Amino acid sequence: MTERRAGGDARIGFDASWYYATARGVADHPALAQSVDVDVCVVGAGYTGLSAAIELGERGYRVVVLEAHRVGSGASGRNGGVLGTGQRKDQDELERWLGEDAARQMWQIAVDANNLVRDRVQRFAIDCDLKDGELTVAHKARHEASLWRYVEHLQTNYGDNTKRVVSRDEVRDMLGVESYFGGYVDSHAGHIHPLNLALGLARAATELGATIYEASPALGYRSTPDGVTVRTEAGEVRAKYLVIACNGYLGRFERGMERYQMPINNFVLATEPLGEARARGINRDDLAVVDTRFVVNYFHNSPDHRLIFGGGENYSSRFPKDMKAFVRRHMLEVYPQLEDVAIEYAWGGTLAITMRRMPHFGRRNEQVYWAQGYSGHGIAMANMGGKLVAEAIAGQAERFDLFANLKHLPFPGGRLLRWPALVAGMLYYSMLDRF
């Protein structure tokens, strides 16, 4: 997988994260140094690729996973740790776009995706600090009513009883700040240690027969009469099927996919331990918190009472030189009372968005399959993405095709012009967050 920009390099920021410092079950996997023949070659050892390997292994397929760096070194191992529910687009938006029947199918797949993660955590005994509860909170007073209406819509039309509305007074008591307004609590969402989830999935995949090769970037592939051949620096994989599971780290590996996704960089920090009393003072119920900004703030407490805070993003080829200061500024806008708190870790990662903010799935010639573009909603849906790809390879493509048939739009301007257009649009919406 050729990396085309510094922000897309899976090595930058990975080792600096609090997740890496508290990783459990890290296993070394060799680099590929020979030619191997398998049923399926998966490129990318993040949630999508590892999930596909698990599902295919359970079905008896011989699977090789190629990873350019380390297991979980991309977005799967350093994201904000929010295990959400629903799709990236709200259900009322999906109803207007796709119609009620398709929107209901999307809702059920999202519910199944959340349950899939929970089931795997339990089934494979993955020690990843899974904690229930997410608070979605309005950063402007006028956003309160729309959040409350959405809860009512889900209760009335989808029978969803996992959410309850909260007032701005309760939010103040929950978070200890005046900067937010009302919202809702989702009891079936929550937060998680994302790298430990990825490491647990990798262990499960290998136990089911998959072979993982690290430090083995896929440089390209070609179709053959029997399938595909994927080339690395020191070897190759000959397979009947190829699964491309690179997301924001796709680079130029597959040009047809690239035009439908855009990599962007997000940044996260971890404070010094605050102590239990102070940690509860800023997050009484130990929930994942997500606000309504276009450039979203998302945060939760860690088991050792740190604040894990994600805020800010950029669209350049580089990460900020001082990531601690970059994210700290966003943290203090929410929690000015943490001015005296030291920032012990800060890191960045690259995710992929699509124009429609829904996952982009597809296939080519019944040999090459892909899932990408989770648009910041990837813990549950990337796990589900890998499962749906495996189902399609095994001949059960109905759920996969629901996503593959979505009418996605390529980013305008091609390779040269799409970046300036994205930056202008993102800066416009981030400005609206402030005014």
The predicted structure's pLDDT at residue 4: 32
What is each CA distance from 70 to 63, 213, 269, 289, 335, in whole angstroms? 17, 9, 21, 29, 34
Enter the tokens of residue 83.
Answer: 């295990």
Residues 47, 121: Cα–Cα separation, whole Å: 13
pLDDT digits (tens, 9 = 90+) for 5-14: 323 455 567 8
Residues of the chain predicted below pLDDT 70: 1-12, 316-317, 413-435
Distances in Å between the alpha carbon of 8 and those of 69, 75, 249, 296, 379? 12, 10, 5, 20, 19
The number of CA neighbours under 13 Å toward the Cβ of 397 is 11
Q: Pseudo-torsion of CA 202, 197, 12, 412, nearest 10°?
A: 90
Q: What CATH number is attached to the domain comprising 37?
A: 3.50.50.60
Residue 341 included in any domain: no
SS3 of residue 219 by DSSP: coil
Three-state helix/strand/coil letters over 129-144 = CCEEEEEEECCCHHHH
The token duo for 184 is 């809702």
Per-residue pLDDT reduced to its tens digit, 254-290: 878 877 888 888 999 999 999 999 999 999 999 999 9
Beta strands at 307-314 and 35-43: parallel, antiparallel or unpaired: unpaired
pLDDT the model gives residue 377: 84
In the chain, how many domains are there?
A: 1
CA distance linking residue 339 with residue 289, whole number of Å: 20
Q: Give the domain extent around 33.
A: 6-79+195-260+355-423
Q: In the numeric block, which tokens belong to residue 405?
A: 């048939």
